[in-house]
Structure 1
């Protein structure tokens, strides 16, 4: 039986047992061959009653992969051997990383800010980029808070390569299901792990950090982890995490580089100049991580409407008092008066309501509280938001409106009923693009 102070291979002296589970033990030890004596991690797999050959296969693979890795944030391989201490033990020795796992910090009640989690995300993505760029790619397959160490140097380290895969499973071949429920994407449970599988596991781990709740304990909708209502994260970072944990592997970030570029682009947009709501604007905007609501209220009658009010009053007053004289043409005159009446009523009493969530968006035009026009589209299809200045008349006067491009369709508002000021259009374009993550 292994015990503290025992020396293995005449070199590694066991100091403290760190973990034990189903024929496995993990010890903190000292390497007596170094001066000063360096701490190391000794992982052991017992050849006993619960032994399975597949476990040995994974154990040996971990040793082989670690032996060929060279990254400052991955523990260095030291040794691999077997010992016979009444039980045959297969032994892997690797560098010890001083620090605490993110799982330990969570258990201690540690709260992580968005800035901290972004830093962790960047560090781990750079490590994954290194692993996935190797030939063949190395897939960790068990990224989770307990396997992410926050070192004493404030650097994140990726540890425990016990589930590592260094080559693709051949079609029709056998595979071992590895990973941890809640952090493992569906395709990995089917034996088809790809680089995007590690991306999902990292995203789920980051969600654990920002909510304090394991992803397996969070509600799901259409297999998507629902977490935005439990955080105070910026909408951009929420959408990025949703991209990391997209259930459909084809819709998820494909590579660590792609995920890192998306994260950095959002960081840039946050630090850039923000257009604030213009002073005096009556536009109402409510923004959360899951939805964006905009209401452009009716402006009411203004002094500039005086001429139209006078004209409409005179026109219809004349029609009413002269109805019998103009009877043959009465209907045509009433219809002709509708155009100036519309120019008066719609801008004065019309309202526009714009709503976005992560699935769809719609724009509704109202008059006296009643809908008279509606447009709807898919949020995922939106690829641009801008101020439209296209000429629309012979005098080349541009139509000034906010335009949302989704696929081949253009959805416009803010030019009429009611009209927005140019400063309001710029502000709304900025707010919509930021919420969509299009900056």
Structure 2
């Protein structure tokens, strides 16, 4: 079938007017329904040489899901048919035709949007997503992007009527839990979890957030810099701090830290929660982790954090293993003591005694060494303790010089390491991981507690 020729009729009913879009093995056509005399959209999937059974599965899923959706901003399902022509065989899906330009086309034509218009657009799309995600089971679009959003001409103060189209990548939770993993979507608009073939309703929120960033910056998400998978867009947009914060929540790469539903995102758009690297509300300390051995003593005049021993880590075990032959006296050292000058023998003996003492200290530190971080009204002290013996690590630090409590994320190959630091006038004065092996929850809890007690902002 030559779809470039108008007036051809599909399924004895749909007269082709023109082609709207084309992909390998697929066509989207504008046609006239000869029975109703209304224009419709006919999506065609061909069973040609490039045919993939997965494409048919998605095509059929789209028709089944659209058939059960009834929303004024989503195309209505009209018909589904098979065709068998001279040179072609395939399937057709008929939907209502929405006479509107895509958001992508309008942006390419030079249309620009104010922050209020972007908010209005976002709210309208969130209402659609809320409808989809509230279905049983929830329906996930998986391919939200500017070309799949239609927008009629604006009128007055309205941004225009908004429509979400192209459900060719749609998935419901039931289909996902069936075990088949299909990675679909558009690079730049896909959240990290979607690359693994597993999506949640919050995955659509990421795609919507990336779309809104594109509208405001004029740059495709892949053209913006990234840091630890976070899109760095704040410097490229002209928006209020509150709306920029809301967008950061939308495109949070961690599924657990993103808005969990369209309803929550919609409720937060005018008054988003503050963004910090650690907790959602820096004024509310995190609960103490259940299994932590860290002790915390807090009064209005004093905050004391008692860190437990580090235990035997890989680094410590390696160091003890290297020192042990020297400490116990290897045959090499015994022979040297017997054959060398008395002074050299004394040096070797002294080295052996030092190694014994150092190994003993390392073992005792792993077992019993505790570090006390003491914050008082005007100073900070770091005190170490082993079996009742105490010593101070640093000189006293003036409390009003402490300017920052921060968690720093350093990536090395595939490992993610987190450290909790205290800085004094941009100089590192305390690294928690030097004194104790902390879990992520312990870092977040301590950072929140210290920041609240000092009335500092976390960063």
Aligned positions of 1:181-196 closer than 5 A: 181-196=187-202
2:314 paired residue number: none
The counterpart of 1:28, out of the listed 27, 30, 38, is 30
2:349 paired residue number: none
CA distance in 2, matches of 1:238, 1:101: 24
Cα pair 1:15 1:28 within 8 Å, conserved: yes
Q: 1:210 to 1:9 in 2, by over 3 A?
A: same
CA distance in 2, matches of 1:190, 1:220: 20
1:362-402 Cα deviation digits (max 9, x unpaired): 9999xxxx999999999xx999xxxxxxxxxxxxxxxxxxx
Aligned positions of 1:39-118 closer than 5 A: 39-85=39-85, 86-118=87-119
**Aligned length in residues:** 308
CA distance in 2, matches of 1:148, 1:407: 46
1:151-183 Cα deviation digits (max 9, x unpaired): 247111000000000234566823111000000
1:132 paired residue number: 133
1:317-353 Cα deviation digits (max 9, x unpaired): xxxxxxxxxxxxxxxxxxxxxxxxxxxxxxxxxx999
Shift in Å, 1:110:
2.0
1:411 paired residue number: 454
Q: 1:407 to 1:156 in 2, by over 3 A?
A: farther
Shift in Å, 1:109:
2.3
Q: 1:408 to 1:168 in 2, by over 3 A?
A: farther
Q: 1:259 to 1:63 in 2, by over 3 A?
A: same
Shift in Å, 1:266:
4.7
Aligned positions of 1:12-411 closer than 5 A: 12-34=14-36, 37-85=37-85, 86-152=87-153, 154-168=160-174, 173-266=179-272, 409-411=452-454
1:271-322 Cα deviation digits (max 9, x unpaired): xxxxxxxxxxxxxxxxxxxxxxxxxxxxxxxxxxxxxxxxxxxxxxxxxxxx
CA distance in 1, matches of 2:73, 2:406: 38
CA distance in 1, matches of 2:112, 2:407: 27
CA distance in 1, matches of 2:67, 2:208: 24
Q: 1:204 to 1:16 in 2, by over 3 A?
A: same
CA distance in 2, matches of 1:167, 1:194: 8
1:426 paired residue number: none
TM-score, length-scaled by structure 1: 0.63
CA RMSD of superposed structures (Å): 3.5
Structure 1, 355-364 or 171-180: larger mean CA deviation: 355-364
Q: In the alignment, is residue 8 of structure 1 matched against residue 10 of structure 2?
A: yes
Say which SS state the counterpart of residue 253 (structure 2) adopts.
coil
Q: 1:266 to 1:31 in 2, by over 3 A?
A: same
Say which SS state the counterpart of residue 64 (structure 1) adopts.
helix
Structure 2 unaligned blocks of 5 or more:
155-159, 275-399, 410-419, 433-439
Shift in Å, 1:14:
0.7
1:111-163 Cα deviation digits (max 9, x unpaired): 22111111111000110000000001111000001001112471110000000
Structure 1 unaligned blocks of 5 or more:
270-350, 384-403, 414-431
**Runs of 4+ deviating beyond 4 Å:** 169-172, 351-365, 370-378, 404-408
Shift in Å, 1:84:
1.5
CA distance in 2, matches of 1:129, 1:53: 31
2:341 paired residue number: none
Structure 1, 215-224 or 108-117: larger mean CA deviation: 108-117
Q: 1:352 to 1:109 in 2, by over 3 A?
A: farther
